[in-house]
Structure 1
Amino acid sequence: MLIAFNKPYGVLCQFTDRSTPPRRTLADFALPADVYPAGRLDYDSEGLLLLTDDGALAHRLTDPRHKQPKTYWVQVEGEPRDEQLAALRNGVELNDGMTRPAQAQRVETPAIWPRDPPVRFRKTVPDAWLALTISEGRNRQVRRMTAAVGLPTLRLVRVTVGPYRLDALAPGEWRHL
């Protein structure tokens, strides 16, 4: 079984939380029994999360050797310059080493749901959206990459993992693939 889930902002990618007060988890969304996340999305990231009951499939989807491309829509602070996009395309030096080259381009504001809570708006600081595709999955990698080129991430929405797409799923909704 393979499930596509649109993980809302502020939800943990696990079924339990031991913190006080407890945070929202995957258990809050009536997902089928015995499925587990194939990969992670940060608490403050949104979008496509795949869940499966098939360990071999989960491994194929998440093991870096399989290089499954993942595409994100990234709202960044600032106006991206050509050299910043080129740096993302060539790979960025992070504290844990050089990233693989990414596909990076500026895109129009995507037609997606509003975030709750909204991203802070500042009249004096422009923002822009990028489509960024990576083939590795380091901890908070996209946020660290955009920050390293001078474009801090304001909002991060994963829209594809390999051949699987978020499509029209609303936050908190899921479907069988």
Structure 2
Amino acid sequence: MVHGVGHAVFAYFGEEIVLNCSVDSHIPPERLEEVKWRRTDQGMLVLLYQHGEVLPDSSHERYRGRAEFFTTEIPKGNFSLRLRNLRTEDKGEYICEAHSGLLLGNTTVELLSLGLSTTHQLIVVLCMIAFGLSIASLIHFIKTGTDRGVMLVHFSLVFSPNILIFVAFILWGFIEG
């Protein structure tokens, strides 16, 4: 018997999530031929346990270094998957399959829409501030046509929004990298 969570799972970008998979069998977990996690919608191998050994190098490149079993829990039949540094493309359906001889059991877990992390929300706020500064500068330029006002408008239109957008894109690139 292979058991999972029984409901959809939600997570935030950049964080980690645990997809549950428990194998209840008369066969000791270390003697199972194979337990694997894969994407059902794309057929990608996420992580493989075969003949008593975790084989992270067999994972699809998208999951290498991010997917792992709780190795101390495997003797108890716990083959839950820890997926770190969640990305947008991680959204989808995952299946945990256990094989031993002719016996096969599986459970599926759906990872639904990933929410915005605190850093993503900060980036959105920075972009909104940049937009607001641009509008305020334009209004100020229309109301005052003086030299001092022109300098203020140039600074506000050229430097402030660009600096904020630059910071926002650097943060976004670091997160999604």
Q: Same fold (TM over 0.5)?
A: no
Sort the TM-score into its range (normalised by shorter chain).
under 0.3
Which structure: larger Rg? 2
TM-score (norm: length of structure 2): 0.26
Q: Which is richer in helix? A: 2
TM-score (norm: length of structure 1): 0.26
